[in-house]
Homo-oligomer: A and B are copies of this chain.
């Protein structure tokens, strides 16, 4: 029987706006409503929660604790919202030092929440840190601030882990932490043991990486601290249902985790704009369970032998055979 734990960002159960449907794709939901929806998903046991807490209103910690408890959920990470209006020109790299300070403070507050919930990490997704136009920024300065901002947090909170979720772009036209290699380069510069990567399968895919290769590289640097999955058409962060477009590369990604003995939560980062949140999560987790079984079926030795000679056809046939249940 599988002991694999599954998780999701709590925003999976929110409703969304975009620049066109400014009235939102559904009525707003409170955090407690989101948690109660998460609780309806089969096999979901952990969530990542934004901070300040989403959904408006003044929700108290005891209320959240109770909602989590009654739904059998625990918290894996806290994601400070360092990408709202005030941070439109960046959090760690904002031209205004006062706003950089504010970002630091918000992340430190998020760190307190990590301690409260007994979570694993503060998740940093600096979506507004980057640039839009040619000539807009001093690239040395932007990168320096990107690295220093995270390093400072890590040294302020040596008891906690910080994970950086890199992404090529959106909402900025280009994000500073845009790829696995760039992020590792920055982390190596920081020289802190408690900073790692949260690898988003879809970000890796649409950034032109092989997610399996990206995972291996992060593991080999001892920095793969977390991950989440979804899918897209390789051109944008569509946050579609995991495996709905790229099931084979998803399988290779999880195979990479298993062969390295990487154990951790398999998380979802999906945005069901027009779909039912619970059904969307169930569909994804259902497929992840198929992948689990396929990993059990996969002949690792034969696959490694095929890889030793770069025999793409043999390797693909083995992978297909396991995944498609022949």
Contact = CB atoms under 8 A, between A and B. Distances in A.
A140 to B, nearest CB: 5
Nearest to A87: B21
Contact of A324 (B135, B216, B279, B324): B324
Interface string A121-146: 00000011001111111111111000
Chain A, interface size: which category?
Answer: 35 or more
Contacts of A138: 304, 307-308
B316 A134 contact: yes
A245 B240 contact: no
B240 A173 contact: yes
Copies in the complex: 4
A85 B252 contact: no
Given A171-B20, A249-B245, A135 B185 contact: no
The winner among A23, A136, A274 for most chain B CB atoms within 10 A is A136
Given A139-B256, A140-B216, A208 B208 contact: yes
A159 interface: no
Contacts of A17: 17-19, 22
Interface of A: 16-26, 83-85, 88-90, 95, 127-128, 131-143, 168-171, 173-174, 178-179, 181-182, 184-185, 188, 207-208, 210, 212-213, 216-217, 220, 233-236, 238, 240-241, 243-249, 251-252, 255-256, 271, 273-276, 279-280, 283, 286-287, 290, 303-304, 306-320, 323-326
